[in-house]
Amino acid sequence: MVFHLLRQNDAFLRSFGEAITYLKANLFTCAECGNISNSDPCPICKDQMRDRHTLCVVESIDDLVSFEQAGIYGGLYHVLGARVSPLDDQELSDSDIEFFLNHIKNLRAAEVIIATNPRMEGDLTYFTLLDILKDRLRDKIEKGELKVSRLAFGLPVGGSIEFADRLTLHTALESRTNAARL
Ligand SMILES: [Zn+2]
C-alpha cells in the first residue's frame, strides 16, 4: 500500500490524507441496529421497502455487508458487535443484550434469524442469545408471535460469513431451522 501511495502525485496524497482525517467524523453508529454508515439511522433501517418484522442478527458489520452484497435478504439486521468467546474473555454485556431485546420489541419483530458464524464462538453466541430470548420473550415464542431461527450448516464449519460465496449464503439462509420450538 505504501509503494502504491508513493507513486501518486501530491494533490492525490493531500486529498487522501484529508479523507482519512475526516473518515471517523463522518461515520455514525446506527442507534437502531449497530451498523456503521454516514447517517443515523443507517440507510437499511430507514428503508421502508424492507421487511421490518424480520431481524437477522450478525456478529459484525462485515457479516452484514456480505449479506447485502449477496442481495438475498430483504429484512433488517441487528449487529451485535460482540460475541461469546471464553478463550478471549469476551461475552455479551448487559447493554448489548438490552440493545438487542429493545430492537426486537421496537420493531415488533415476528422472526429473529440468528446468523452467527459456524464455529465455536458463533455456537456459544447463538446458545447465549437463544437462552436470553427463551427467558425474556418466552410468552411471545409460546404464542407463536416470535419465531427464532438459525442459519443451517450450509456454511463451511470453521469458515466465516464474510468469505462465503453467494450460493452458500443463499442455501444457508433458505434452510434455516426453528431453534426455539418449545
Ligand atoms: Zn441501522
83 CA from centroid of ligand 1 (Å):
19
pLDDT greater than 70 at residue 182: no
41 CA from centroid of ligand 1 (Å):
5
Stated pTM of the model: 0.80
Of residues 177 and 76, more confidently modeled: 76
**Which pLDDT score, from 0 to 100, does residue 23 have?**
79
4 CA from centroid of ligand 1 (Å):
34
Condensed to tens digits (0 to 9), the pLDDT of residues 104-158 reads: 999 999 999 999 998 889 999 999 999 999 999 999 999 999 999 998 777 777 8
159 CA from centroid of ligand 1 (Å):
26
HSE of 151 in the Cβ direction (CA atoms, 13 Å)?
29
Looking at the domain 33-152, which fold is it?
Answer: Dna Topoisomerase Vi A Subunit; Chain: A, domain 2 (3.40.1360)
33 CA from centroid of ligand 1 (Å):
4
Question: Which pLDDT band holds residue 179 (cuts at 50, 70, 90)?
Answer: confident
45 CA from centroid of ligand 1 (Å):
4
HSE of 177 in the Cβ direction (CA atoms, 13 Å)?
6
**Which pLDDT score, from 0 to 100, does residue 177 have?**
76
Q: Which residue has the cell 453467494?
A: 166
For a pLDDT cut of 70, what percent of the chain falls above it? 99
1 CA from centroid of ligand 1 (Å):
32
Domain boundaries, the chain: 33-152
In the numeric block, which cell numbers belong to residue 43?
Answer: 440507510
Q: Which residues pair with 51 in a beta bridge?
A: 75
